[in-house]
Amino acid sequence: MSAPLLPLITEAEELEAKIDEENLVIIDLSRAPIYARNHIPDAVHIEHSQIISSKPPVMGLLPSAEALSEVLSTAGITPESHVVAYDDEGGAKACRLLWTLDVVGHKHFSLLNGGLQAWVNENHPVSEGIETASPSEYKVTYTKNGIIDKAEILAKLGDPNVALLDVRSPGEYAGTDKRALRGGHIPGAVNLEWIHAIDQQYNLRLKEPNELQLLYIPIDVMPDKEVIIYCHSHHRSAHSYIVLKSLGYKNIKGYPGSWSDWGNDPELPIE
């Protein structure tokens, strides 16, 4: 397998320097009207709704392998592509795509640090209209990499080698902001809202790595543990997954469905 073209967290100037590389595919997950008005040259648009599926009340599940194969193929992605993803709202949609690529065993991908805000505000070139890619043939096979379900989580409750990280708002975590049949959190989970990783003053980039580590270490989310991350639908927690991956955490799991799955199942324990 070839070396990655770019680091996992890629700066706008790094991307601009590599923008003509043959194996580079840039994916824009902004809202469609924003994409049509303003996007990175050659970026192909994917709608966030195309990379998730729902079985109400459970949301944020993986699409079928066939459906995802079609989305990736239409975007011109091949297994050899280095995919750079971005969006217009802090990176959670982009990270959901990158987490999905991790689950299918895709090797090379990056998050554009700061997304569209950083790119536009720092005067990098933009295009308008709709870009189309030459279709590829990407056959998706889901792996167990980076993913966990409620039965597996249930079996790990109370394990000192496992950290459960709830990245919803404090109100959702406490159960005062109730968005499922039941409010609260998975027993033993610690709470750190996902937005604390973002530097609001610096075009929505991630905070510096040492600052990020100071968020996770005090709540015992340590690199030597298995870290299970969830939110309400594994949208916000996909962002935290990529953040921890960028910090060198090796054993991270995302929970598709998240609280919309756990909180709507009366058989499961809650705090």
The secondary structure element, H or E, covering residue 27 is strand 24-28
Alpha-carbon span 40 to 43, nearest angstrom: 5
Listed in sequence order, the residues at least 6 apart from 152 whose beta carbon sits closer than 8 Å to its beta carbon are: none
Alpha-carbon span 107 to 127, nearest angstrom: 28
Pairing of strands 53-55, 58-61: antiparallel
Active site residue 95: no
Q: Where are the beta strands (DSSP E) in the chain?
A: 9-10, 24-28, 44-45, 53-55, 58-61, 82-86, 109-112, 162-166, 190-191, 198-199, 205-206, 226-230, 252-254
SS3 state at 65? helix
Sign of CA dihedral 113, 9, 226, 258: positive
Check if the beta carbon of residue 229 is closer than 8 Å to that of residue 162. no
Choice among 26, 116, 164, 231 that is catalytic: 231
User: How much of the chain is helix, strand and coil, in % rounded to 5?
Assistant: 30, 15, 50
Of 178, 180, 165, 131, the C-alpha closest to 32 is 131
Alpha-carbon span 267 to 269, nearest angstrom: 7
Show which residues are catalytic.
Answer: 231
